[in-house]
Amino acid sequence: GGLMQPSGVNGRWSMIRSLYIDNKTRNPKARGRHEFINSVLYNWREHGYIMGDTTNGVSECNLIGNYFIYGPSSNSNTHITGTTEYFHVYAEDNWVDSNTNGTLDGSLLTDYKTATVENSPFDYPGVAHQLSAQDALNHVIENAGASLIRDAVDELLIDQLRSYGTEGRIINTEADNGIPGNVGTLASGVAPTDTDRDGMPDDWETARGLDPNSADDNDDDDADGYTNIEEYMSCIVGEGDC
């Protein structure tokens, strides 16, 4: 998993509609000001969502509409760990399915251990269309990962998630997945013309008023806080203003 912590006094981070699967721990190890919304955690081993795990510095989190699903590798009572009073959490509509019986039949998460539970959310951006935890799970199954063209690895992981506790194991190396060549057969294609090789096709840049001859992927031409390359990636999955 990840060590997630913002830089600087005013730093923040967001994890939205994402899938953590088959990690030993840190799904994520979360610190600082952040929001974790409409995401799914599956088949961790020792630690699912680590809440700060420190007495140095306060963390402030909106934890909303997430599903924690135990798998065959998961140790008991580990969906949230590392809680301290310095971790402040606004929690809403988070669910846990811990019985690994192959059926999604979780219960509402109400025990946040020693974390400080807040009654109102922190003033973070959030999402325009917040989903329920159940709807978020369905969205993740259909859209997380390389969802435009899923390869054998994507399909394997999503199938494990759909088993609701009966399949999956901690991934150590690519060879663990048992797929021929580790990644299976990848379909070839023709890349769109990208003269400046900045990851954004010429026609998309031209339509946006960008210069296809100047690498400006890290710029933010509309000053909305997202780089040009982030806007392009949103567009190719049908999101954002294209």
Active site residues: 26
C-alpha torsion angle, residues 19, 150, 167, 76 (rounded to 10): -10
Residue type, 38: N
Nearest-angstrom CA–CA distance, 190 and 20: 31
Rg from Cα positions in the chain: 20
Question: Alpha helix locations (H) across the chain?
Answer: 133-143, 152-162, 202-207, 228-236
Q: List CB contacts of 96: < 8 A, sequence separation 6 or more.
A: 67, 68, 69, 70, 79, 106, 107, 109
**Contact (CB, 8 A) for 3 and 23:** no
CA-to-CA distance for 112 and 117, rounded, in angstroms?
7
